[in-house]
Amino acid sequence: MKTFSKSIVAVLVIMILFPSYALGRSVTPMYEDLTGYEFVPGKVDTLTPSLSFNHDAENASDLPDEAEFWTTRTKSSSTTAHVDVTLKGLAAELEFGLETEWGTSTEVSWKATFSIPPWSIYNCKAGSKRSKPTGTENYWVLGRLKSSTSVSGTCTQGTYQSKTLVRYIDH
Protein backbone atom coordinates (compact mmCIF):
# COMPACT_ATOMS: atom_id res chain seq x y z
CA MET A 1 0.00 0.00 0.00
CA LYS A 2 2.89 2.33 0.76
CA THR A 3 4.33 1.78 -2.72
CA PHE A 4 0.96 2.47 -4.31
CA SER A 5 0.54 5.80 -2.49
CA LYS A 6 4.11 6.83 -3.39
CA SER A 7 3.32 6.13 -7.05
CA ILE A 8 0.14 8.23 -6.87
CA VAL A 9 2.03 11.11 -5.25
CA ALA A 10 4.73 10.89 -7.96
CA VAL A 11 2.12 11.00 -10.76
CA LEU A 12 0.34 13.94 -9.14
CA VAL A 13 3.64 15.83 -8.76
CA ILE A 14 4.47 15.22 -12.44
CA MET A 15 0.98 16.37 -13.50
CA ILE A 16 1.25 19.53 -11.41
CA LEU A 17 4.80 20.44 -12.44
CA PHE A 18 4.65 19.28 -16.07
CA PRO A 19 1.02 19.30 -17.22
CA SER A 20 1.89 19.16 -20.94
CA TYR A 21 4.13 16.14 -20.47
CA ALA A 22 1.63 14.38 -18.27
CA LEU A 23 -1.13 14.82 -20.85
CA GLY A 24 1.06 13.62 -23.70
CA ARG A 25 1.34 17.02 -25.46
CA SER A 26 4.56 18.44 -26.88
CA VAL A 27 6.31 21.06 -24.82
CA THR A 28 6.90 24.46 -26.43
CA PRO A 29 9.63 26.77 -25.22
CA MET A 30 8.51 29.86 -23.36
CA TYR A 31 11.00 32.15 -25.19
CA GLU A 32 11.83 33.13 -28.75
CA ASP A 33 15.22 32.42 -30.29
CA LEU A 34 16.07 36.16 -30.69
CA THR A 35 18.99 35.54 -33.02
CA GLY A 36 19.48 37.93 -35.91
CA TYR A 37 19.82 41.55 -36.93
CA GLU A 38 17.81 44.46 -35.58
CA PHE A 39 17.71 48.00 -36.97
CA VAL A 40 17.33 50.88 -34.51
CA PRO A 41 16.34 54.13 -36.28
CA GLY A 42 18.46 57.22 -35.75
CA LYS A 43 17.74 60.48 -37.53
CA VAL A 44 17.49 61.84 -41.06
CA ASP A 45 19.59 64.86 -41.99
CA THR A 46 18.74 67.04 -44.97
CA LEU A 47 21.87 67.60 -47.03
CA THR A 48 22.71 70.44 -49.41
CA PRO A 49 20.98 69.74 -52.74
CA SER A 50 23.15 68.56 -55.62
CA LEU A 51 22.76 71.13 -58.38
CA SER A 52 22.58 70.21 -62.04
CA PHE A 53 21.49 73.66 -63.23
CA ASN A 54 22.29 77.25 -62.21
CA HIS A 55 21.24 80.17 -64.44
CA ASP A 56 20.24 83.85 -64.18
CA ALA A 57 16.90 84.41 -65.94
CA GLU A 58 16.04 87.96 -67.03
CA ASN A 59 12.58 89.38 -67.77
CA ALA A 60 12.83 92.88 -69.27
CA SER A 61 9.12 93.31 -70.02
CA ASP A 62 5.92 94.57 -68.40
CA LEU A 63 4.40 91.06 -68.11
CA PRO A 64 5.38 88.05 -66.00
CA ASP A 65 7.33 85.42 -67.91
CA GLU A 66 8.21 81.77 -67.51
CA ALA A 67 11.68 80.40 -67.91
CA GLU A 68 11.81 76.69 -68.79
CA PHE A 69 15.02 74.72 -68.74
CA TRP A 70 15.63 71.08 -69.59
CA THR A 71 18.27 69.58 -67.36
CA THR A 72 19.43 66.21 -66.09
CA ARG A 73 19.84 65.06 -62.53
CA THR A 74 21.16 61.92 -60.92
CA LYS A 75 18.92 59.68 -58.79
CA SER A 76 21.23 57.78 -56.45
CA SER A 77 21.68 56.05 -53.12
CA SER A 78 24.60 54.59 -51.20
CA THR A 79 24.91 53.07 -47.74
CA THR A 80 27.32 51.51 -45.27
CA ALA A 81 24.77 48.78 -44.45
CA HIS A 82 24.64 45.33 -46.05
CA VAL A 83 21.96 43.48 -44.10
CA ASP A 84 18.45 43.45 -45.60
CA VAL A 85 16.61 44.43 -42.39
CA THR A 86 18.94 47.44 -41.98
CA LEU A 87 18.54 48.54 -45.61
CA LYS A 88 14.76 48.40 -45.23
CA GLY A 89 14.99 50.24 -41.91
CA LEU A 90 17.07 53.06 -43.39
CA ALA A 91 14.62 53.39 -46.29
CA ALA A 92 11.64 53.40 -43.91
CA GLU A 93 13.10 56.43 -42.10
CA LEU A 94 12.83 58.51 -45.27
CA GLU A 95 9.71 60.61 -45.60
CA PHE A 96 9.46 60.09 -49.38
CA GLY A 97 11.18 56.71 -49.75
CA LEU A 98 14.06 55.80 -52.01
CA GLU A 99 14.22 56.88 -55.65
CA THR A 100 16.53 53.96 -56.52
CA GLU A 101 17.64 50.72 -54.92
CA TRP A 102 20.52 51.06 -52.45
CA GLY A 103 23.87 51.26 -54.21
CA THR A 104 22.55 52.34 -57.61
CA SER A 105 22.32 55.55 -59.61
CA THR A 106 20.61 56.65 -62.78
CA GLU A 107 20.41 59.90 -64.72
CA VAL A 108 17.03 61.40 -65.69
CA SER A 109 15.99 64.42 -67.75
CA TRP A 110 13.37 66.83 -66.49
CA LYS A 111 12.03 70.32 -67.15
CA ALA A 112 12.42 72.99 -64.48
CA THR A 113 9.98 75.90 -64.82
CA PHE A 114 10.42 79.25 -63.09
CA SER A 115 8.04 82.21 -63.01
CA ILE A 116 9.99 85.45 -63.52
CA PRO A 117 8.21 88.69 -62.51
CA PRO A 118 8.42 91.78 -64.80
CA TRP A 119 11.59 93.87 -64.84
CA SER A 120 13.70 91.47 -62.78
CA ILE A 121 16.59 89.02 -62.87
CA TYR A 122 16.36 85.83 -60.83
CA ASN A 123 18.98 83.20 -60.17
CA CYS A 124 17.37 79.84 -60.94
CA LYS A 125 18.78 76.57 -59.58
CA ALA A 126 17.67 72.97 -60.10
CA GLY A 127 18.90 69.54 -59.09
CA SER A 128 18.18 66.82 -56.53
CA LYS A 129 17.14 66.97 -52.86
CA ARG A 130 19.43 64.79 -50.74
CA SER A 131 19.00 63.07 -47.38
CA LYS A 132 21.18 61.11 -44.97
CA PRO A 133 19.34 58.52 -42.83
CA THR A 134 21.29 57.02 -39.91
CA GLY A 135 20.76 54.30 -37.34
CA THR A 136 22.28 51.37 -35.51
CA GLU A 137 22.49 47.77 -36.66
CA ASN A 138 22.48 45.31 -33.74
CA TYR A 139 23.29 41.61 -34.05
CA TRP A 140 21.74 39.33 -31.41
CA VAL A 141 22.53 35.68 -30.61
CA LEU A 142 20.11 33.87 -28.29
CA GLY A 143 18.93 37.17 -26.85
CA ARG A 144 22.40 38.56 -26.20
CA LEU A 145 23.79 41.55 -28.07
CA LYS A 146 26.93 40.42 -29.95
CA SER A 147 27.68 43.54 -32.00
CA SER A 148 26.38 47.04 -32.60
CA THR A 149 27.36 49.11 -35.65
CA SER A 150 26.43 52.63 -36.72
CA VAL A 151 25.06 52.68 -40.26
CA SER A 152 24.09 55.49 -42.62
CA GLY A 153 23.09 56.18 -46.17
CA THR A 154 22.98 59.06 -48.61
CA CYS A 155 20.24 59.30 -51.20
CA THR A 156 18.42 61.67 -53.50
CA GLN A 157 14.82 62.50 -52.60
CA GLY A 158 13.24 64.05 -55.67
CA THR A 159 13.70 67.24 -57.62
CA TYR A 160 14.94 70.50 -56.15
CA GLN A 161 14.46 73.97 -57.57
CA SER A 162 14.77 77.46 -56.17
CA LYS A 163 14.93 81.02 -57.39
CA THR A 164 16.33 84.11 -55.69
CA LEU A 165 16.11 87.70 -56.78
CA VAL A 166 19.39 89.00 -58.18
CA ARG A 167 18.11 92.52 -58.89
CA TYR A 168 15.36 94.59 -60.41
CA ILE A 169 15.88 96.07 -63.87
CA ASP A 170 15.50 99.84 -64.24
CA HIS A 171 13.02 100.80 -66.95
**The whole model's pTM is what?**
0.72
Q: Which tens digits make up the pLDDT trace of 139-165?
A: 999 889 999 999 999 999 999 999 999
As a whole number, mean pLDDT of residues 101-126 equals 96
**Cα–Cα distance for residue pair 114/70, rounded to 1 Å:** 12
As a whole number, mean pLDDT of residues 16-29 equals 56
Q: Give CATH for domain 32-168.
A: 2.170.15
76-105 burial: b if 16+ Cβ within 10 Å, else e? bbebebebeebbebbbebbeeebbeebeee
Q: Which tens digits make up the pLDDT trace of 47-73?
A: 999 999 999 999 999 999 999 999 999
Half-sphere exposure of 81 (CA within 13 A, CB side): 32
Domain boundaries, the chain: 1-30, 32-168
